[in-house]
Amino acid sequence: MTNLNRRTLLTSAAGLAGLGFLSACVSNSPGTGGKSGEASVDSSLKIGASPVPHAEILQFVKDELAKDAGIDIEIVEYTDYILPNKDLEAGDTDANFYQTPNFLKNEIEENGYKFTAGKGVHIEPLGLYSEKAKSVEEIAESGEIALNSDPANTARGLRLLESAGLISLGDAPEDALVKPEDVKENPKNLKFTELEGGQIPRSLGDFAAAVINGNFALEAGLKPNEDSIFLEPGEDSPYANLLVWRSEDDGNEYLKKLEELLHSDEVKAFIEKTYTDGSVIPAF
């Protein structure tokens, strides 16, 4: 074999090895190839979600609808509200399904995320719960109320207490991120303690009452319609849960398909048949 032919074969082999390495990199990345633009899009989607009801809804989509749509879904469960967006920004997931518009807006403002949200999929009414009072009226004077500590849900919780007639927030705009110090009227002289949302159900007995997000209530075995002493109205709620992805992946056809599936008649029927107690309500 001539030197020329030997060099040609070695060069070709190195090129093929390089292509193999690139192929491996693509196959090991999330469905969008990590950060958008690094590689061609494939049909695999890694979606972050709260266990209940988000992961359950996604599991239904995966089992019943995804194959016909040409999508392969991997569900990654999170039990907090902060890590899902961090992992999405880092490219560790392709989208997440757990947050509401007010929460997403605050996350974007605080962290500079460049995210896009789909349309509302479902609503989980926020509830006020107590092991010591059977009604709002029975909440003790100077009682301590637990609130979710993230700013968007602190504000939402205070709005719930205002709707229950326990406090007044005065003329604060509806979308303002109000805090306990913004309370203008507090006839019972209630005290407010902010905790990580997932911790509140476990600590319910330590408080006169607690505001608990729907997914955390369900995970704790609470039935919002039966166990809450005051429940946020579900109809026309501005707090619908959304599928969220990086804005650079707006053109991802498989994310578009998943967004469509989450708003399908089949998903609506699944929500209505599975959550008959009103704890989860279709938003479409």
Question: How buried is 251 (Cβ within 10 angstroms: 0-12 exposed, 13-18 middle, 19+ buried)?
Answer: exposed
> N- to C-terminal Cα distance for the chain?
71
> Is residue 227 located within the same domain as residue 135?
yes
Q: Domain for residue 77, yes or no?
A: yes
Say what the pTM is: 0.82
Q: Domain for residue 23, yes or no?
A: no
Q: Domain for residue 244, yes or no?
A: yes
Q: Domain for residue 153, yes or no?
A: yes
Which positions ≥6 away from 1 have C-beta within 8 Å?
none
pLDDT tens, position by position, for the chain (284 residues)?
A: 444 343 343 344 444 344 343 333 333 446 544 444 444 467 999 999 999 999 999 999 999 999 999 999 999 999 999 999 999 999 999 999 999 999 999 999 999 999 999 999 999 999 999 999 999 999 999 999 999 999 999 999 999 999 999 999 999 999 899 999 999 999 999 999 999 999 999 999 999 999 999 999 999 999 999 999 999 998 889 999 999 999 999 999 999 999 999 999 999 999 999 999 889 999 99
> Is residue 52 located within the same domain as residue 88?
yes
> Is residue 117 located within the same domain as residue 143?
no
What pLDDT sits at residue 117? 98
Which positions ≥6 away from 135 have C-beta within 8 Å?
229
> Is residue 92 located within the same domain as residue 78?
yes
Per the structure, the complete domain to which residue 85 belongs is given by 28-124+239-282
What pLDDT sits at residue 42? 78
> Residue 119's domain is classified under what CATH number?
3.40.190.10
What pLDDT sits at residue 6? 37
> Is residue 112 located within the same domain as residue 136?
no
Among residues 249, 246, 212, which one has the least CA distance to residue 227? 212
> Is residue 71 located within the same domain as residue 131?
no
Q: Domain for residue 2, yes or no?
A: no
Strand order in the sheet with 127-129: 191-195, 144-148, 209-212, 127-129, 230-231
> Is residue 170 located within the same domain as residue 146?
yes
> Is residue 160 located within the same domain as residue 95?
no
Q: Domain for residue 61, yes or no?
A: yes
> Is residue 274 located within the same domain as residue 143?
no
> Is residue 213 located within the same domain as residue 261?
no
> Is residue 113 located within the same domain as residue 246?
yes
> Is residue 85 located within the same domain as residue 132?
no
Q: Domain for residue 158, yes or no?
A: yes
Q: Domain for residue 201, yes or no?
A: yes
Total domain count, the chain: 2
